[in-house]
Amino acid sequence: MLELGLSQKNVKFQNRSKVLKVLRKQPGISRKDISDQIGLTKAAISSITSEMIDEKIIVETGNQETGVVGRKKVLLELNKDFGYVLGLTISETFITVLITNLLGETVESYIHEFSSGDCCDKDEVIDLIVEKALYLLWMNGIDKQSVLGIGISYIGELGNVDIDYIKVQMAKKLRLKVVLSNNVKALAMLQVDFSIKETSENFLFVKYGPGLGMAIVESGTIIEGVDNKAGEIGHTIVDADANTTCRCGRTGCLEALISEKGIVEDIEKLGPNYSYLIINKNLSIIDYKSVNELLEMKDPTITSIFEKRYDLFAKSLANSIILFNPEYICVYGLIFSQPEIFEMINTKVKGYLGFNTTAFIKLSDLDPTSDAIGVAALVLRELFYDVGGFKEV
């Protein structure tokens, strides 16, 4: 009897989850259309949606003509303000805290940049995060009871930052469930779950800036590898003779050779004539519009800095396509905000691949300025959509 009860409960979770995932991608859809898409009977869909309307998870938003006199489809969508999640990104130079609703839309965000003189220990950082998270909730009139959880993403390996300690303390101080993830993997799941343009669940997601990372997406989930390091494109060795030491300790890693931090350092060496290209040295933010203009003018100094890096990047993307055979590579980052730069890299990749592959490079439609939204979306996936909207399972 117990096994039967658990089985029925799991089926209910799964069916509710299917309905919620359809509504996430297609707001304003009828019960009949949901039924057609997921293969449940109209009676089952009616029961599930009625239950979630009573719970205020979904709402009826209007009617649609069916072509039959006197009959209209009632349209449904998610009540995006039913619940919220907190997202947190931690790096060696900054932290970002934000709130999103059920649709992954940012409600409010806060960025704290660490200056070179900062000497905050981990407990001071935790207290700062908690203070800002509670402040953002208060400013937006959000009751903490409606917060499903908090996601913590980290950029790179963080070195001396004890991410597990931060996770434990955040759970204790905020009394929320915590989801922990590498920021690139979290962004890849955001691409799958919330991108309107996403058409596949089998692709490579590559983030460029300030470092370099890749996630392998297969059947809508991340391939982790034995030590959760599968897809570390930034730590593939592309020039063993290079005079660079990566943060991983190896020589000649792709990230060490093409990272925005290295680009900023090279631009600094050029003196005041090119200093305007650096928007924020500490965060390694580059004015790519101006860079693009200089590349179009064939400025030899800037071309010497970027051309080799783009070539190494393109070779690595081409090799990744050959190794993993994805439908495409989805690229994310401020560097791609300039169509000309994206096209330059894309052309190089096509040149290396030749005509024997159907894979291609695709530009992500996600906001390249907000890493923390990725892990917030991961919280929504794990603590809301995958469990059918139940807060406690």
How far apart CA 213 and CA 226 sit, in angstroms, is: 17
Same fold, 2-78 and 196-363: no
How far apart CA 306 and CA 225 sit, in angstroms, is: 32
**Tokens standing for 374?**
């990725």
Bridge partners (DSSP) listed for residue 280? 285
pLDDT given at position 1: 33
Q: What is the mean pLDDT of each run of 10 residues along the chain (393 residues)?
A: 56 91 91 92 93 94 66 88 93 88 93 69 86 94 94 70 84 93 90 81 91 91 87 86 78 86 89 90 86 88 89 94 93 87 90 86 85 89 91 56
Which CATH number is associated with domain 2-78?
1.10.10.10
Is the separation of the CB atoms in 301 and 335 below 8 Å? no
Q: Which residues contact 265 (CB under 8 A, 6 or more apart)?
A: none
Torsion 165-166-171-172 (CA) sign: positive
Torsion 331-335-337-342 (CA) sign: negative
pLDDT given at position 101: 95
pLDDT given at position 64: 67
- Burial string for 7-32 (b: 16+ CB within 10 Å, else e) reads eeeeeebebbbbbbbbbbeeeebbbe
Place of tokens 């401020």: 334
Phi-psi region of 150 (alpha: psi -120 to 50; beta: other; left: phi over 0): beta
Strands 203-208 and 212-218: antiparallel
Is the separation of the CB atoms in 223 and 324 below 8 Å? no
DSSP for 284-345 reads: TEE-HHHHHHHHHTT-HHHHHHHHHHHHHHHHHHHHHHHHH--SEEEEESGGGGSHHHHHHH
Domain ranges of the chain: 2-78, 84-187+371-385, 196-363
Phi-psi region of 156 (alpha: psi -120 to 50; beta: other; left: phi over 0): left
CATH topology of domain 84-187+371-385: Nucleotidyltransferase; domain 5 (3.30.420)
Place of tokens 């997921």: 38
Which CATH number is associated with domain 196-363?
3.30.420.40
pLDDT given at position 116: 61
Bridge partners (DSSP) listed for residue 110? 97
Bridge partners (DSSP) listed for residue 87? 98, 151
**How many C-beta atoms lie closer than 10 Å to residue 100's C-beta?**
27
pLDDT given at position 229: 83
pLDDT given at position 4: 42
